Structure 1
Amino acid sequence: MSRSIVRQSKFRHVFGQAVKAEQGYDDIRVSKVTWDSSFCAVNPKFLAVIVESSGGGAFLVLPLSKTGRVDKNHPLVIGHSGPVLDIDWCPHNDNIIASCSEDCTAMVWQIPDHALSRPLSEPIVVLEGHSKRVGIVSWHPTARNILLTAGSDNLIIIWNVGTGEPLITMDDHPDLIYNVSWNRNGSLFCTTSKDRRLRVCDPRKREVVAERLSPHEGIRPMRAIFTRDGNIFTTGFTRMSQRELGLWDPTNFEEPIALLELDTSNGVLFPYYDADANMVYLCGKGDSSIRYFEITEEPPYVHYLSTFSSKEPQRGMGFMPKRGVDVTKCEIARLYKLHDKKCEPITMTVPRKSDLFQDDLYPDTAGPEPAMEPEEWLDGRDDDPILVSMRQGYVPPKSRELKVAKKNVLDSRPTTRRSMSTCDANSLPVSFHHASSTECGVQHFI
């Protein structure tokens, strides 16, 4: 990583800083499941962490302001009968979170604005369609109520959680899927898989539109994310087990735009991407450092900026959406580092003396309003995120109810079968359970 040429960039001096001890979250029993997930998800209202729990799976949800020691009896979100493997906050409603588990299901939960006073065991929606554990949940970036799940049955299912119906099923992966990342407008997603292929999928055409065998030659897991301009940033390993990162143009997978060797550590590198700054933060499980890079259009395309190091290794990491950072302190990113027993926020700041709002650091960013309805997306529409100004900072809206229109369960026609018509005919029968199955007609998120 040569740093001999001084490059002009406003992010060149970004520095990381752990918050004071009392501003962290202590006494959290972080899950010990050996699954390559980040175990942590944050948004401007809440911190969620997958935790150890007996007899099933659970995760902890705390209001961001509830720092300090977490009560040992703090109520958990419980509902899965097996360990929870992944969680993801809805980008369009700060009170909605999806979880998935070894019990072959994904669930969607409504979290009240105040801290939980008793365990939350009733999900809004249970999504049943996978025959093996579900390891990945990922919300569509711009369409309301669209959720992607990926399971160890190598299936990807895209759901409308507003009706509980599977919209699209894809079975193009012959091996375990390591990760899934939507592009900026949600028209495509990319995946990495145990068969060492990087794929770009068009879900509405139900096909793989581009793929690359071994973007990294090592056999250890890869990760891939779309950048704002449609390129794909990857992390993986060389044949000699060195960690490596790459930047690819999916319309021409022959040669990488950039390929950079890092070190010989064996932890999988999780990339967290800031589309506004075009920066990526690399966090390895078991590492005690966070490296960050800027992606530009000039060679070498991926520029090393700096490393934040601390003494203790990380078990997982959460990444705050840009609308949740503190603009009054020139904070451009905030990561939530999981230790064995605590969660420590780390702020990334551009050093500036002025107290005025820094326009160049905070372009309008993706806000909480969806750009389109699920039917519009399914019919082929693509929209970029609806942007909001950061000038006055961001105040999360109060909890909003989402209406869920579920077909009448007393209707004699086989509704769940009818919903399968858009799926692959060979896919598994899918049923939809509502938390309150005694009601019918229009259901509400409570």
Structure 2
Amino acid sequence: MSRSIVRQSKFRHVFGQAVKTEQTYDDIRVSKVTWDSSFCAVNPKFLAVIVESSGGGAFLVLPLSKSGRVDKNYPLVIGHSGPVLDIDWCPHDDNIIASGSEDCTAMVWQIPDHSLARPLSDPIVVLEGHSKRVGIVSWHPTARNILLTAGSDNLIIIWNVGTGEPLISMDDHPDLIYSISWNRNGSLFCTTCKDRRLRVCDPRKREVVAERLAPHEGIRPMRAIFTREGNIFTTGFTRMSQRELGLWDPTNFEEPIALLELDTSNGVLLPYYDADASMVYLCGKGDSSIRYFEITEEPPYVHYLNTYSSKEPQRGMGFMPKRGVDVTRCEIARLFKLHDKKCEPITMTVPRKSDLFQDDLYPDTAGPEPAMEPEEWLDGRDEDPILMSLRHGYMPPKSRELKVSKKNVLDSRPTARRSMSTLDTNSLPSSHLCFGLFPLVAHCP
């Protein structure tokens, strides 16, 4: 018996397919800002796209079910006075989204379950702490209400959006920060920077705990994401401007676990990571293809699987959390590809003949419940995501209404700025003890 040399993997035959024309979102004027963000964020309820708008910055939020042609008068989210550069849905509430803008602020918004009837201009909270544009917003994966922002002032600020307070500020980067990625339990994050260094930061110690100069030798922008195992997957360029990907062990940055040259295109490769399948999807800005790879424990560690190709180049990309995929069709990922004037969902499917739930494709995945409160995380606690089964699919819960006056968040009087634990909660009216998305006191009725 000759030994089979074909690597066994249930993801070897994953294939990508664009949805039918009537399931796309048409007549969207995608932003022309030259910022290297994905311009698109998606969750099981909504699709959000940064769009061109006169008089400031705006983004469009559509219920996922509202495919087809988008009315040119459809209401936008319009609170920023400068172009919006990045948006990110809260992993613990499908109705909450954060945005960062050239106007030096980040804002947090509550989106109603139904379609917007009028433009939304009132954020729940405005986060003011950066002196230059805010190019990155990223929610903590497991702690409630913790949001990270990074600006062109090379500053990283971590906020408790339930109180509007900055908790941690880090200024270890001497130049523009290209990307930031939390690890699985949110104890660390990794960054790539214009100074060509890849850094691992411990935010609660306010220090860089590991760094590597030039994981990719080219001077063009890099991207880095943490894998489930705690390694770091990077994309960048060689000295000859070849695009390249790498896999690194942050406890030993000397040699890469894997380094792979791809092609000579000049678009920055945006990596989207599926922790359950240990797969990464690479979408280059301006490319018309999506490559996908599987990361494993055996050499060569990063295994090329396949490429989804189409004729139209992509302006940006959104990546659906695993709880939003259709398990009845063996869909393991859904990407939302931005064209100039539309957004096209692309489904990634494992071909299976059986109609039964495929346990091996769908291990329990990160659910929408936060694993801890902001104070617990700040005090040094670490928790992995709370997992949920996809056996019966996922139905997003209805929006939880905010039950607190705006004054309680934005009021700058000293008493309101202190955390709730330092206040005498007995003296507050009961309506102040529950904050919908942002419970300042645990276990609201």
On whether the aligned pair clears a TM of 0.5, the verdict is yes
Conservation of the 8 A alpha-carbon contact between 2:282 and 2:292: yes
Alignment of 1:37-436 (within 5 A): 37-402=37-402, 414=414
Conservation of the 8 A alpha-carbon contact between 1:220 and 1:236: yes
1: CA distance, partners of 2:168 / 2:20: 46
Conservation of the 8 A alpha-carbon contact between 1:169 and 1:424: no
1:384, distance to aligned residue in structure 2 (A): 0.3
1:426, distance to aligned residue in structure 2 (A): 36
Post-superposition Cα deviations, 1:139-195, rounded to whole Å, max 9, x if no partner, equal 000000000000000000000000000000000000000000000000000000000
| Percent identity of paired positions between Structure 1 and Structure 2 | 92
Conservation of the 8 A alpha-carbon contact between 2:163 and 2:409: no
**Change in 2 beyond 3 A, CA 1:379/1:353:** same
2: CA distance, partners of 1:186 / 1:438: 29
1:294, distance to aligned residue in structure 2 (A): 0.1
**Change in 2 beyond 3 A, CA 1:216/1:131:** same
Partner of 2:212: helix, strand, or coil? Answer: strand
2: CA distance, partners of 1:427 / 1:174: 46
Please, which runs of 5 or more residues in structure 2 have no aligned partner? 435-440
Post-superposition Cα deviations, 1:114-139, rounded to whole Å, max 9, x if no partner, equal 00010000000000000000000000
**Change in 2 beyond 3 A, CA 1:204/1:390:** same
1:417, distance to aligned residue in structure 2 (A): 8.5
1:402, distance to aligned residue in structure 2 (A): 4.9
Partner of 1:147: helix, strand, or coil? Answer: strand
1:281, distance to aligned residue in structure 2 (A): 0.1
1:406, distance to aligned residue in structure 2 (A): 8.0
Partner of 2:417: helix, strand, or coil? Answer: helix
Post-superposition Cα deviations, 1:395-437, rounded to whole Å, max 9, x if no partner, equal 00110135669886999964699799999999999xxxxxx99
Conservation of the 8 A alpha-carbon contact between 1:403 and 1:444: no
Greater mean alpha carbon deviation, residues 153-162 or residues 410-419 = 410-419
2: CA distance, partners of 1:199 / 1:52: 33
**Change in 2 beyond 3 A, CA 1:342/1:409:** closer
Conservation of the 8 A alpha-carbon contact between 2:44 and 2:323: yes
Conservation of the 8 A alpha-carbon contact between 2:163 and 2:419: no
Post-superposition Cα deviations, 1:257-295, rounded to whole Å, max 9, x if no partner, equal 000000000000000000000000000000000000000
1:204, distance to aligned residue in structure 2 (A): 0.2
Partner of 1:384: helix, strand, or coil? Answer: coil
Please, which runs of 5 or more residues in structure 1 have no aligned partner? 430-435
1: CA distance, partners of 2:215 / 2:144: 33
**Change in 2 beyond 3 A, CA 1:69/1:407:** closer
**Change in 2 beyond 3 A, CA 1:299/1:62:** same
Partner of 2:431: helix, strand, or coil? Answer: coil
- Relative to the length of structure 1, the TM-score reads 0.92
Conservation of the 8 A alpha-carbon contact between 1:104 and 1:134: yes
**Change in 2 beyond 3 A, CA 1:81/1:333:** same
Conservation of the 8 A alpha-carbon contact between 1:91 and 1:141: yes
2: CA distance, partners of 1:427 / 1:225: 45
**Change in 2 beyond 3 A, CA 1:443/1:328:** closer
Post-superposition Cα deviations, 1:5-26, rounded to whole Å, max 9, x if no partner, equal 4100000000000000100000
Greater mean alpha carbon deviation, residues 271-280 or residues 410-419 = 410-419
Q: Aligned pair count?
A: 439
**Change in 2 beyond 3 A, CA 1:404/1:173:** farther
2: CA distance, partners of 1:262 / 1:425: 58
**Change in 2 beyond 3 A, CA 1:413/1:22:** closer
- Relative to the length of structure 2, the TM-score reads 0.92
2: CA distance, partners of 1:35 / 1:190: 20
Partner of 2:276: helix, strand, or coil? Answer: coil
Post-superposition Cα deviations, 1:329-380, rounded to whole Å, max 9, x if no partner, equal 0000000000000000000000001000000000000000000000000000
1: CA distance, partners of 2:215 / 2:422: 33
**Change in 2 beyond 3 A, CA 1:374/1:63:** same
Conservation of the 8 A alpha-carbon contact between 1:24 and 1:344: yes
Partner of 1:437: helix, strand, or coil? Answer: helix
Conservation of the 8 A alpha-carbon contact between 2:409 and 2:416: no
Conservation of the 8 A alpha-carbon contact between 2:164 and 2:410: no
Conservation of the 8 A alpha-carbon contact between 2:40 and 2:87: yes
1: CA distance, partners of 2:262 / 2:13: 20
Conservation of the 8 A alpha-carbon contact between 2:227 and 2:273: yes
Post-superposition Cα deviations, 1:8-46, rounded to whole Å, max 9, x if no partner, equal 000000000000010000000000000000000000000
Conservation of the 8 A alpha-carbon contact between 1:404 and 1:443: no
Conservation of the 8 A alpha-carbon contact between 2:45 and 2:396: yes
Partner of 1:305: helix, strand, or coil? Answer: strand
Conservation of the 8 A alpha-carbon contact between 1:105 and 1:130: yes
**Change in 2 beyond 3 A, CA 1:422/1:63:** same
1: CA distance, partners of 2:422 / 2:168: 6
**Change in 2 beyond 3 A, CA 1:349/1:8:** same
Which has the higher relative contact order, 1 or 2, with Cα contacts under 8 A spaced 6 or more apart? 1
**Change in 2 beyond 3 A, CA 1:117/1:407:** closer
